Structure 1
Amino acid sequence: MTLQQWCFSYRGRLGRRDFWIWQIVWLLTMTALFTLAGNNLLDTQMAAFCVVCLLWPASAVLVKRLHDRNKRGYWALLLVVAWMLLAGNWGALGSGWHTGLGRFLPTFILIGMLFELGLLSGSAGENRYGRATQPVSYFRRRGAEKSSHQ
């Protein structure tokens, strides 16, 4: 798999190693963006633009990892639900609702997805989303890849 397919394509499957590499890259990028914006070294709107630009590659990696687990990409919407529950104002409903809907349920979703995608191995062999996972070629040149598939 090429670097472009890794970041921008929703087709295919992605193994745990490349999933964790993306998570580290994403975490370091977010940390740098928020640190620069917090210290007024980067405009807040530019940092927000960069975060929005990272949504596509983040979702592509997530969907391909779900495909490796033989699950539809729609399962990624659980993370959107968790984010919405975390951002919700549940205080008006009382402390039980705040704890349950605002903290427990999103935490349960996030830990479940992290366990599913980061720790469990993908389905063996070919599944409905393609061949078994192939590692991402981070430093391979385009010409070298074409010659290896012929």
Structure 2
Amino acid sequence: MTLQQWCFSYRGRLSRRDFWIWQGVWLVAMVMLFTLAGNNWLDTQMAAFCVVCLLWPASAVMVKRLHDRNKKGWWALLVILAWMLLAGNWTMFNGTWQWALGRFVPTLIFVMMLLDLGVFTGTAGENRFGSEARPVNYFGKPNYQ
């Protein structure tokens, strides 16, 4: 798999190793963006634009990892639901419901998705989304196999 397929294609399957490499790249990028924006070295709108630009590769990696687990990419929408629940204003409910809808359910979704994508192995052999996951060729060297 090429670097472009890794970041921008929703087809195929992705191994746990390459999923965790993306998570590391994403985390470093977020820390850098928020540090630069927090110190006023980067405009907040530019940092937000960069975060939005990273949504496509993040979703592509997540969908390919779901494919490796033999699940449809639509399961990735659970992450959007969790973010929406986290950002929601739940003051109309009493304390327990505020905590449940605003903190517990999103945390549960994030933990379950992280376990499913990052810990559990993919389907052995071919599944409905293609052949077994191949490693990403990060440096563009020809792969003579």
Question: More helix per residue: 1 or 2?
Answer: 1
SS at match of 1:92: coil
1:101-125 deviations in whole A, cap 9, x for unaligned? 1111111101000000000000000
Please name the residue that 1:12 is paired with: 12
| Stretches of structure 1 lacking an aligned partner (at least 5 in a row) | none
Query: SS at 1:93's partner residue?
Result: coil
Seq. identity, %: 69
Question: Which residues in structure 2 correspond to 1:1-150 (within 5 Å)?
Answer: 1-141=1-141, 144-145=142-143, 148=144
Q: CA RMSD in A?
A: 0.9
Shift of 1:89: 0.8
Alpha-carbon distance in 1 for matches of 2:17, 2:102? 31
Contact 1:91-1:97 within 8 A present in 2 as well:
no
Q: One-letter code of the match for 2:78?
A: L
Q: Structure 2: how far apart are the matches of 1:100 and 1:50?
A: 31
| Count of residues paired in the alignment | 145
Counterpart CA distance in 2 for 1:104 and 1:73 is 24
Distance 1:59 1:103 in 2: 23
For 1:102 and 1:43, the matched residues in 2 are separated by 29
Runs of 4+ in 1 over 4 A off after TM superposition: none
Provide the rounded CA distance (Å) in 2 between the counterparts of 1:30 and 1:74: 25
1:56-108 CA-partner distances (Å, limit 9, x unpaired): 00000000000000000000000000000011111221101111111111111
CA distance in 2, matches of 1:40, 1:140: 36
Match of 2:95, as an amino acid? S
TM-score (norm 2): 0.97
TM-score (ref. length: structure 1): 0.94
TM-superposition CA deviations, 1:29-72 (whole Å, max 9, x none) = 00000000000000111111101110100000000000000000
Q: Secondary structure at the match of 2:92?
A: helix
